[in-house]
Structure formats: C-alpha cells, structure tokens
C-alpha cells in the first residue's frame, strides 16, 4: 500500500470538490495501493448525517470498502499518535491525529484537504495535501 485517505479526501471525491480528480486517479490503484483508517467510516457517516443523507451511508461506504483496505487503530497507532502530538506546536483534533498516526504507522502517505495536518513535521508523516493555502 502507498496511500491512506483522510475523510476530507474521500468527501472531496464523493462531492466532486477540489482535489476529486487527484483522489480518483489514486483510487484507481485499488485495495492493493490504498487504505483508510477504520475510524474514517464514522466521520463519513457524520458528514452525510449532517447533510440529511445518513440513509445513503451503507451503500456509499460499501463502494469505498470495495476499493480501499481498512486499517485498525491499535496500541501501536495510539503510541504513534502520542509521538506526533508531542512533535506538533498546535493541537490536532483527536480523530485526525489517529488517522495521521495510522498512516505513519503503516508507512503510507496521508492524502487530505485539511490544512491543520500540515503542522505535523515531515519526519513524522508523509502527506499529499489536496487543498490550497491562503
């Protein structure tokens, strides 16, 4: 595997927002190349729920599961999250910290659109930022 997708990248693809073409090209690599952290599922569901479309979650998530491997959060990932947090000057949301740690632990590049990930030092996480900085 080479890439782990943050929820923000999957949502960009799903809603055809900025970065969707890059995500689509990467997703073409299938499960052998791409993964998500298991907790991304609840973030994806939460976004659909917020939009009043929670009933679409099961079908939509099943399509992502067909092309993405799912990686667990375990003690090793939690320890990596603590290392990343210690290395950052700014606070990161816990879910995002665990997603970043999952990518780092599996030696994958995190694909995302969230600028707050950019505070993570490069020696702790490889990243592919899909957004624009202002």
pLDDT tens-digit series, residues 88-101: 999 999 999 999 99
Return the ∠ at Cα 63 (arms to 58 and 66), rounded to 5°: 120
- Residue 134 confidence class, pLDDT cut points 50, 70, 90: low
Question: What tens digit of pLDDT does each residue of 38-92 get?
Answer: 999 999 999 999 999 999 999 999 999 999 999 999 999 999 999 999 999 999 9
CATH architecture of the region 3-129: 3-Layer(aba) Sandwich (3.40)
Helices (H), the chain: 7-14, 20-27, 40-50, 57-67, 75-87, 94-105
Q: Scanning the structure block, which residue is given the tokens 């994806």?
A: 44
Domain range annotation of the chain: 3-129
* pTM, to two decimals: 0.94
């Amino acid at each position: 595997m080479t890439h782990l997708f943050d929820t923000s990248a999957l949502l960009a693809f799903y809603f055809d927002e900025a970065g969707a073409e890059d995500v689509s090209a990467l997703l073409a690599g299938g499960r052998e190349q791409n993964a998500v952290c298991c907790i991304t599922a609840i973030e994806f569901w939460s976004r659909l729920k917020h939009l009043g479309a929670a009933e679409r979650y099961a079908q939509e998530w099943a399509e992502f599961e067909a092309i993405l491997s799912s990686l667990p959060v375990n003690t090793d990932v939690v320890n990596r999250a603590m290392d990343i947090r210690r290395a950052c000057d700014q606070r990161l949301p816990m879910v995002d910290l665990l997603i970043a740690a999952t990518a780092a632990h599996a030696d994958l590049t995190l694909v995302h659109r969230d600028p707050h990930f950019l505070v993570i030092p490069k020696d702790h996480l490889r990243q592919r930022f899909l957004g624009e900085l202002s």
